[in-house]
Amino acid sequence: MPIIKSAIKRMRQTSKRRTRNVTAKRDLKGAVKTFLAKPDAKGLSAAQSELDKMVKKNLLPKNTAARRKAQLAKVAKDAGVKTGTAKKAAPKAAAKPATKKTPAKKVAAKKPAAKH
């Protein structure tokens, strides 16, 4: 047990951070385990989202998360999971609403500069 005031505070901070990090890691493991037990698009999305959160919180290196997401995607592909990455094409007629044209502003003709 530390005696110095700053060391006591540092211990409190470390304890709080550790609790927060352990909870986040547990959530990640749960999401991945759920997806692996029953691969579906929703589970894949949840697991990848948890990985992104871990990177955002600096609990996991970016490349590690990318590697794990790729592994999850491979499992999903092998299981025949349909992901919602394909975008539907919107009809061209309804794509842009018609806008009103504003009349052009009249510009006054410039007078020549007066000679001094």
Structural domains of the chain sorted by starting position, each given as residue range(s) with its CATH number in brackets:
5-79 (1.20.58.110)
What's the CA gap between 61 and 59, in Å, rounded? 7
pLDDT tier for residue 91 given thresholds of 50, 70 and 90: low
Q: How many CB atoms lie within 10 A of CB 31?
A: 21
pLDDT in tens, 63-90: 999 999 999 999 999 998 887 765 555 5
Residue 29 vs residues 25, 42, 85, 88: alpha-carbon distances, Å: 6, 16, 24, 33
Candidates 22, 20, 50, 18; CA nearest to 35 is 50
pLDDT in tens, 36-51: 999 999 999 999 999 9
